[in-house]
C-alpha cells in the first residue's frame, strides 16, 4: 500500500471525525429563504441604480480628463506663426558645450553646416565624422526646423593649413586638425568628430 492510498484511508477517518462533530453541533439557525430572496431582490434594484450612477460618474471623469489633455496639447504645441522659443546654443566658450549642443534641437544642424570638406574626394570619410545627434526636443516633432532669425549661419570656409596649436573649437572659427598619415582629411569642428581620436592638437 503506497503512501497516497494510506492517506486516502486516513482522510476517510478524518471525514468521519468531522461528521461526528457536525452531528454534535447544534443545528444552526439559518435565515429563512424568503428573507434572503427579498434581500437579494431589494439589493439587486439598489445595485442597478448604483451601477448606473457609477457609470455616469466614470463617463464624466473620462470626459474631463480628455478635455484636460486636449487643452494641454494646444497650450504646449507652438504655432507656426508665433514667436519661436527655440534658441540656438552657439556659445563656444562654455565648457559644457557638447552637452548643451546635444540637448538643443538646433545643434546638430548647426554643426553640420560648419563642417566643410577639405577635399572633395574625401567626402565620405569627412561626412562620417559628423553624426548628427537626434533632435530631442519635443517641439521638433511638430514643426519643421527653421533657424531662428538671430542665429547666424556659418558659411563654408576654405580648407586651412594644418595647425599645431589649436584653439578651443568654435563654430564661428573652425579649426583644422592633422590626421596622422592623412593630411588631407581635416575636420573643421573638433567636438563632433568621432573618428579623430588620434588627432594631434587634441584639446578638451
Partner 1 sequence: MTLSLDEGSGDPAAPAFFDEREDVPCGRSALEGMYPVLAPRVHRFQCDLLGDAALASDATQETFVRAFRRVGELPTGTRLAPWVFGIARHVSLELRRARGRIRRVLVPTDDGSHADVPDRTARSPEAQLLDREAVDVVARALDALSEDRRAVLLLRLDHGLSYDDIAGLMAWTLAKTKVEIFRAREVLRATLEEYRGGGS
How far is C-alpha 62 from the geometric centre of its chain's CA atoms? 25
Q: What's the chain's Rg over C-alpha atoms?
A: 39
Q: Name the CA dihedral angle for 14, 20, 24, 25, rounded to a multiple of 10 degrees.
A: 50
Q: Does 54 bind partner 1 (CB under 8 A)?
A: no
8 A C-beta contact, residue 134 and residue 196: no
Q: Does 36 bind partner 1 (CB under 8 A)?
A: yes
- In angstroms, give the least distance from the CB of 97 to partner 1: 59
Q: Does 2 bind partner 1 (CB under 8 A)?
A: no
Cα–Cα dist 12/16, whole Å: 6
Cα–Cα dist 189/155, whole Å: 13
Q: Does 8 bind partner 1 (CB under 8 A)?
A: yes
Q: What is the DSSP string of 44-98?
A: HHHHHHHHHHHHHHHHHHHHHHHHHHHHHHHHHSPPSSSPP-------TT-TTHH
**Beta carbons within 8 Å of 146's beta carbon, 6+ residues apart:** 84
- Nearer CB in complex with partner 1: 31/181: 31
**Cell numbers found for residue 70:** 486636449
Q: Does 35 bind partner 1 (CB under 8 A)?
A: yes
Cα–Cα dist 70/78, whole Å: 14
- In angstroms, give the least distance from the CB of 51 to partner 1: 12
- Nearer CB in complex with partner 1: 25/149: 25
Q: Does 37 bind partner 1 (CB under 8 A)?
A: yes
- Nearer CB in complex with partner 1: 33/161: 33
Q: Does 46 bind partner 1 (CB under 8 A)?
A: no
Q: Does 49 bind partner 1 (CB under 8 A)?
A: no
- Nearer CB in complex with partner 1: 17/160: 17
- Nearer CB in complex with partner 1: 40/62: 40
Which of 37-45, 53-61, 143-151, 196-204 is the region at the interface with partner 1 (rule: CB under 8 A)? 37-45
| Residues of span 12-31 touching partner 1 by CB under 8 A | 12-18, 20-31
Residues in touch with partner 1 (CB under 8 A): 5, 7-18, 20-31, 33, 35-37, 39-40, 43-44, 47
Amino acid at each position: 500500500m503506497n503512501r497516497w492510498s494510506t492517506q486516502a484511508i486516513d482522510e476517510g477517518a478524518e471525514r468521519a471525525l468531522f461528521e461526528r462533530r457536525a452531528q454534535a453541533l447544534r443545528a444552526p439557525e439559518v435565515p429563512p429563504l424568503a428573507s434572503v430572496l427579498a434581500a437579494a431582490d431589494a439589493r439587486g434594484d439598489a445595485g442597478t441604480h448604483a451601477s448606473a450612477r457609477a457609470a455616469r460618474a466614470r463617463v464624466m471623469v473620462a470626459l474631463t480628463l480628455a478635455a484636460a489633455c486636449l487643452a494641454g496639447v494646444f497650450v504646449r504645441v507652438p504655432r507656426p506663426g508665433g514667436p519661436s522659443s527655440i534658441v540656438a546654443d552657439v556659445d563656444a566658450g562654455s565648457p559644457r558645450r557638447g552637452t548643451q549642443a546635444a540637448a538643443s534641437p538646433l545643434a546638430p544642424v548647426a554643426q553640420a553646416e560648419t563642417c566643410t570638406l577639405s577635399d572633395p574626394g574625401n567626402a565620405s570619410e569627412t561626412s562620417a565624422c559628423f553624426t548628427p545627434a537626434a533632435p530631442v526636443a519635443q517641439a521638433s516633432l511638430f514643426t519643421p526646423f527653421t533657424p531662428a532669425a538671430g542665429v547666424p549661419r556659418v558659411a563654408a570656409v576654405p580648407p586651412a593649413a594644418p595647425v599645431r596649436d589649436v584653439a578651443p573649437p568654435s563654430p564661428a572659427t573652425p579649426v583644422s586638425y592633422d590626421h596622422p598619415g592623412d593630411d588631407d582629411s581635416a575636420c573643421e569642428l573638433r567636438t563632433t568628430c568621432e573618428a579623430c581620436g588620434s588627432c594631434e592638437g587634441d584639446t578638451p
